[in-house]
Structure 1
Amino acid sequence: MAEPILPPPGRPVSLPDRVPSEQTAVCRLAHVLIGAACRPLWGPQAEGVEHLPPTGRVILAFNHRHWMDTLVVPLIVQKVRYPRFLGKEELFRNPALGWLMRQLGIIPLNRRRGDVAALRQATAVLEEEGCLALYPEGTRSRTGAPGRAKPGVAFLAQQTGAPVVPGRLFETDRFPEPVTMRLKFGPALRYSGDGGKESCQAFADKVLETILSL
């Protein structure tokens, strides 16, 4: 039997009891304000939105080039789905920012170790037929060159049966230049491996390769 891909236990930043299943009032207000600020200058545009299922569990997987990515994605997809992101836990250490990120349904993730609690929260989002957004590389590229995909995307797909919809972000790394930021989606991928380390890593690599080919 293949060895399951389970991260070692850790002590992450404290998590809420559950990720909100619907947009909170704070979340809706934040999206309105962010949209009002972003659209005139960067006018985010999307291609391939038909690949997003309007209902049911789904994982959205993106390349990560700038912190703006996490703002651009909800602006583009929120009319179809409300995505919850996995975000680095360092951002949650600021009390005000941490509170806002929790209101937005962002799940703190320790990137230096396997984070059981965060993966359980992410799994719960999908088991409630929600939409989870993540970056397979785990962190943004500061050089433009892609990093190595981490197996977490495969673990979540294997545990929940959720399809993975790849999406590639363009021009977000040019912020704050007034350029049109774009997001292109491709057809969903499904994990069909045995849950082992090699299988999960191979699927994660395939997801990232697909993203970069869009």
Structure 2
Amino acid sequence: MNLYPLGKFLISTIFYPLYRIEVTGKENFPKEGGVLLCTNHIDNLDPPVVGITCPREVHFMAKEELFQMPVLKSVLPKVQAFPVKRGMSDREAFRTTLKLLRGGKVVGMFPEGTRSKTGELGKGLAGAGFFALKGDAVVMPCAIIGQYKPFKKLRVIYGKPIDMTVYRETKASAEEVTEVIMSEIGNLLKQNK
């Protein structure tokens, strides 16, 4: 049972007025095909905010521990989230991600791997570059700007898709591609301060 549309509706009715969410660049988002959606990570509420502002359904990797919590373990799979073991190579999460991307779905990830304590953009992990190269998908950079404070503006900016063709052809490394992705997210943050 897919609860994503219901969840999106319910969260939207609360979050849009509460955080005065303003979305820019939705028109940049590909209407079809696999998309790796890469976003900076400033708060635990980032996944639902990206989920309600993105024009397409997003499948999020979520840390495995969340799937062991009583209510979340039954809800998360119904809103298209899937578990990933942090800090180690998780073959099952890798397979799931590639299958989704190659199947024309949107996979959301936070390349930093964890929330930024300072709000500044951290270093991206090579996993983002790996999926960008192997997933047969375009990469969408996204920036969340602001603070999760009631009635203060929170902005979500979708950049232009990054075509991975040249990086695949030149056999760029996962690390190099991650740097490109983080640079694009960084540019969105700088241009929209």
TM-score (norm 2): 0.89
When the two chains are superposed, the root-mean-square deviation of aligned CA atoms in Å is 1.8
Partner of residue 75, structure 2: 100
Deviations 1:100-148 (A, max 9, x none): 1111111111121111101111111112111111111111111223222
Task: Please identify, of 112-121 and 154-163, the stretch whose mean Cα deviation from structure 2 is larger.
Answer: 154-163
List alignment gaps of at least 5 residues for structure 2.
Answer: 189-193
Partner of residue 151, structure 2: 178
Describe how 1:106-185 pairs up with structure 2 within 5 A: 106-171=81-146, 174-185=147-158
Partner of residue 187, structure 1: 160
Deviations 1:154-174 (A, max 9, x none): 211221221101011011xx2
CA change 1:139–1:180 in 2 (3 A) is same
Q: In structure 2, how many angstroms separate the alpha carbons of the residues matched to 1:136 and 1:162?
A: 16
Does the aligned pair in 1 maintain the 2:148–2:154 contact within 8 Å? Answer: no
TM-score (norm 1): 0.81
Describe how 1:80-95 pairs up with structure 2 within 5 A: 80-95=55-70
Q: In structure 2, how many angstroms separate the alpha carbons of the residues matched to 1:117 and 1:195?
A: 28
CA change 1:195–1:102 in 2 (3 A) is farther
Q: Give the C-alpha shift of residue 96 in structure 1.
A: 1.5
Aligned-partner residue type, residue 64 of structure 1: H
Q: In structure 1, how many angstroms separate the alpha carbons of the residues matched to 2:74 and 2:91?
A: 21
List alignment gaps of at least 5 residues for structure 1.
Answer: 1-22
Aligned-partner residue type, residue 162 of structure 1: A
Q: In structure 2, how many angstroms separate the alpha carbons of the residues matched to 1:91 and 1:38?
A: 22
Partner of residue 16, structure 1: none
Partner of residue 206, structure 1: 180
Q: In structure 2, how many angstroms separate the alpha carbons of the residues matched to 1:160 and 1:177?
A: 38
Give the fraction of aligned pairs with identical amino acids, expressed as a percent.
Answer: 27
Q: In structure 1, how many angstroms separate the alpha carbons of the residues matched to 2:103 and 2:168?
A: 23
